[in-house]
Chain A
Amino acid sequence: MPQPPAPARPPNGSGKAMSIQEKSGILAAPLSYLQKVIALTGMDVRKLRHDPTELLTRAIQPALWLIVFGKVFAGTHAIPTGGVDYIAFLAPGILAQSVLFIAIFNGISVIWERDLGIVHKFLVSPTPRTALVLGKALSSGMRALTQAIIIYALVLLLGVEVNWSLPALAGVVILVLLGAGLFSTFSLIVACIVKTRERFMGIGQVLTMPLFFASSAIYPTSIMPVWLQWVARFNPLTYEVDGLRNLMLAGGQGGGSLPVDFTVLISTLALLVIIGGRMYPRLAV
């Protein structure tokens, strides 16, 4: 119900016009940038706290992959995993898949925020465009981390031997954040181009499965036909999976090298964030 206006209360001390002090010093700008990224992420995290159902329903799919798909294929011994149990081989792949799936539909929430006018208010505020993009990327990262926790729990139940060393766990956290940031920013760029939910949903579906199948998530690239191996080589998800396979499993079972994985993921993310920062203002038009 509309309420009668509250009694006029002239603003007191903190209400003086333009009292926002510009902080000085070399660190002021990067600090303010970082604070805004974290503020935007914090906003999304609070939304999840208000309503965490999404995170729980999203956990169903990886559970099915591990328990049903994983168990069946483990029994066939058809996939050369380099001597590892197939469930163990599959686990980092499914974590990467969760990261991909939770991030790739970031564009939908971006389009939703555009329809509401939230994007317009963000763009009118003195927030650097790349900070807006990075804030969204980190939000996706936080969502993906919740999935990582659930998948670690599942994997434990399935008896996979996990690498519990602190550096390995920290590496997994960073890989999950990087991967989610990368795919969510890619998704944001697509959203900036298509601008409507219907078109985005179509494209999202078309992109997800090829990214997934042209990676080492559920089988090693070595058994792929040569052309597909080339596709996999340009697929960031391959590097995400390799990195996770190295760090998640006891004994480290990755195909590639960790420095390469991190370098590819970090530089791709940086590139996408710069492109995303350029594209984001198009949403207001």
Chain B
Amino acid sequence: MSPILSTQNLSRRFGPVTAVDGVTLSVAAGEIFGLLGRNGAGKSTLIKMLTTLLPPSSGSAQVAGFDIEGEAAKVRRVIGYVPQALSADGELTGRENLDIFARLYDIPSSLRKARVGEGLEFMGLGDSADRLVATYSGGMIRRLEIAQSMLHRPQVLFLDEPTVGLDPVAREAVWEHIIRLRQSFKTTIILTTHYMDEAEKLCDRIAIMQQGKLAAAGTIAELRAATGDETASLTDLFTRLTGNAAEAGGGYAATAGTRQTAERLG
């Protein structure tokens, strides 16, 4: 089966800094694929390139058969994206938040209302649909955003740190919804995360990024086999594969951004 997403030597430089350095990977249709790494490892930059937000400096990538540079407009029609920051608009209701994106994705008016309603129900937000999002909890906002990104039934969904800053109960709820979403829509999901339990719970395969490069990729069992420790936890594997480079990367800006998100979550 041909992969639904693949990259070849994908790189992105910002001046002297190489944020993503020659990444080659492929993801099969229907997979939940996790990108792990410390702050500044290049996860978000990689996601930005795959979602057409940022042109690569070199290398290439295809999503659902379309080239991210030459066919960016086509890529945009078949992907969904939930950025790391809580990006639902607090000054609008949940329903209005979905409605605007249904329009931006050209969902015909005959389908729009039903599609928005379904999205809200599916994410367990039916009762709060007409409240201002400013009154939502962090977990509800996250689920609303996932509903927002699924309105056009994308083939590939990108989630950038979907549970950052959420309390444990809210995280579980978001996980449940991600799993059900894959079951119902067969969506391929690419997510970045810092949390080992999240990766173990959700991901079929993971890739570990370090300083812009892929340090390892595979199922957790494969990574265990590769390190020769069949009982290693994912945390152990992570530490071993990233060379225990404590506090590598994660500059001021990245930390400030995460804190900002966490503060908005209250």
Contacts and interface: CB of A to CB of B under 8 A. Distances in A.
Contact of B108 (A20, A40, A50): A20
A118 B89 contact: yes
B79 A35 contact: no
Interface stretch (A77-85, A123-131, A169-177): A123-131
A126 B77 contact: yes
Given A2-B140, A43-B96, A127-B104, 17 more contacts: A2-B137, A2-B166, A3-B124, A6-B124, A6-B126, A8-B184, A14-B118, A15-B115, A17-B186, A19-B153, A47-B89, A116-B85, A123-B52, A124-B51, A124-B80, A284-B48, A285-B54
Contacts of B111: 14, 19
B105 A20 contact: yes
Nearest to B74: A126
B177 interface: yes
Contacts of B153: 15-20
Given A15-B153, A50-B92, A2 B170 contact: yes
Interface of A: 1-6, 8-12, 14-23, 32, 35-36, 39-40, 42-43, 46-47, 50-51, 115-118, 120-127, 281, 284-285
B122 A2 contact: no
B211 to A, nearest CB: 20
Interface string B48-59: 100111100000
Interface in B114-139: 114-115, 118, 121-124, 126, 132, 137, 139
Contacts of A115: 85, 260
B76 A46 contact: no
Contacts of A1: 137
B92 A43 contact: yes
A106 to B, nearest CB: 16
A5 B118 contact: no
Given A5-B177, A15-B118, A124 B79 contact: yes
Contacts of A2: 137, 139-140, 166-167, 169-170, 172-173
Contact of B105 (A17, A42, A125, A281): A125
B100 A39 contact: yes
A281 B52 CA distance: 10
Contacts of A32: 106
Nearest to B105: A125
Interface string B128-170: 0000100001011000000011001101000000000011011
A5 B73 CA distance: 34
B51 A39 contact: no
Contacts of B84: 117
Contacts of A127: 104
A5 B124 contact: yes
